[in-house]
């Protein structure tokens, strides 16, 4: 119970103390618009790939943690069933 309270408290603090990071969006957009208007689409493709990478990573981490949690729970259940 103490561990859950600590995790909840730290999560609440992390949510309340976030910093807005909107400054780069305008720079990225201007860079992409400049390059696309000049006929170069490689920067836009690279930016889209970076966005997809950032989008997928939290889900991948959650899936890996979920897998290990499931495997650990399954081993614990099998160990209890043996006794």
Q: What is the pLDDT along the chain (83 residues), one digit of tens a residue?
A: 788 888 888 888 877 776 655 555 677 778 878 888 888 878 777 887 888 888 888 999 999 999 999 999 999 999 888 87
How far apart (Å, rounded) are the C-alpha atoms in residues 56 and 46? Answer: 15
Tell if the pTM clears 0.85, that is, is over it: no
- Cα dist from 80 to 68, 69, 71, 72, 75, whole Å: 18, 16, 14, 12, 9
């Amino acid at each position: 119970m103490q561990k859950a309270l600590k995790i909840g408290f730290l999560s609440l603090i992390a949510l309340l103390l976030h910093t807005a990071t909107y400054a780069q969006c305008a720079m990225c957009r201007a860079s992409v618009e400049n390059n696309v208007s000049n006929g170069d689409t490689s920067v836009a493709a690279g930016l889209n790939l970076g966005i997809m990478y950032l989008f997928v990573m939290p889900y991948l981490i959650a899936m890996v943690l979920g897998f290990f949690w499931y495997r650990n729970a399954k081993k614990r259940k099998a160990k209890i069933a043996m006794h």
